[in-house]
Amino acid sequence: MKTILTESEKSGKPTSRRQFVRGLSLLGLGGMLSACMPQASSAKASEDPNIDVAVLNFALNLEYLEAEFYLAAVGRKPKYATNGVGGAGGAVTGIKEVKFSDTDFGRATRDYANEIADDEEKHVLFLREALGEKAVARPAINIGESFRLAADIASGGLIKTFDPYANELFFLHGTFVLEDVGVTAYKGAARLLTNKDYLEAAAGILAVESYHAGEVRTLLYRQKDVVAAAGLKVSQIIQAISDLRNKLGGAGKDQGIVTASGTANVVPVDQNGIAYSRSPREILNIVYGGVDNKSGLFYPQGLNGDIK
């Protein structure tokens, strides 16, 4: 399938919004999307009887993104930037500190952001220690431009200048983009792990990511009727983000913060009350911005490791 959001192999420049839209139009709906997304992690990993290292490095790539996003928001530098396996790694662009307002909402969001930043940084440090010399370096990460383009597409062109660091409300919209993805990624990857110690650790990180997602969705739900940008309410923007993730990362695996009947939907689950799973390929489709992409959006040069 045609690449959507990636750097041009010839010019090295990101693809345009028009190319992204054209690529999305190729996705179709439901079954057509599912047919485009293989469930195996990667050819190389599936041939390896012990893919634990590949899976943990896949998780590490995602943790780098989350840690960089949150640490920048609260004005902190990562402890792993110049220490540990992999060295400083790729460049991180489009980050800055959020100027949280001195209101109850602003202070609460700042406190949550600091707590989550601590957790995500510890996840990176833990995975790097667990992997030892096999840990991959931080890949190149594009944050600001990726959020802007994703918001543009999700809103149908209504929001063209979205900045997740502009204020606490926009910051929460940015966290929504990442947190639910993390939950479904860890749940989907759990079945691939063979070492029970690694599986237990992954389950622990999954639980923490779920706590984070619950915090974020609760804060956003309390602001659901606030007009955030371009005349759109918070609940409408969140639903648009969820719809886009459904198109990219598996139809029926994403939900907004309000049900069809207008009630709260803080915990997105299936008909059995179970959290959704996404395969590594489905996660890659979201973070790369297109089905079967090899790079793009948040990872302009792709992930590091075997599952990429």
Q: Give the integer Cα–Cα distance in Å for 95 and 142.
A: 8
Can you give the pLDDT at residue 181? 95
Q: What residues contact 173, with CB distance under 8 A and at least 6 apart?
A: 151, 162, 164, 220, 228, 234, 237, 238, 241
Burial classification of residue 294, based on how many CB atoms lie within 10 Å of its CB (0-12 exposed, 13-18 middle, 19 or more buried) = middle
The pLDDT value given to residue 80: 79
Most confident of 12-16, 41-45, 140-144: 140-144
pLDDT in tens, 259-300: 999 999 999 999 999 999 999 999 999 999 999 999 999 999
Q: What is the pLDDT of residue 87?
A: 57
Contact indicator for 153, 102 with CB cutoff of 8 Å = no
What average pLDDT does this structure show over 173-194? 94
**pLDDT reported for residue 14:** 44
Report residue 232: phi and psi, to 5°.
-95, 135
Condensed to tens digits (0 to 9), the pLDDT of residues 106-120 reads 999 999 999 999 999
Q: What is the pLDDT of residue 30?
A: 32
pLDDT band for position 34 (cuts 50, 70, 90): very low
Mean pLDDT of all residues in the chain? 84
pLDDT band at 12 (very low <50, low <70, confident <90, very high): very low
Task: Give the domain ranges of the chain.
Answer: 17-288
What was the pLDDT predicted at 4?
Answer: 35
Strand pairing class (92-93; 141-142) = parallel
Distance CA 213, CA 234 (A): 16
Task: Name, in order, each residue with C-beta under 8 angstroms of 177's C-beta and a sequence gap of 6 or more.
Answer: 147, 150, 164, 241
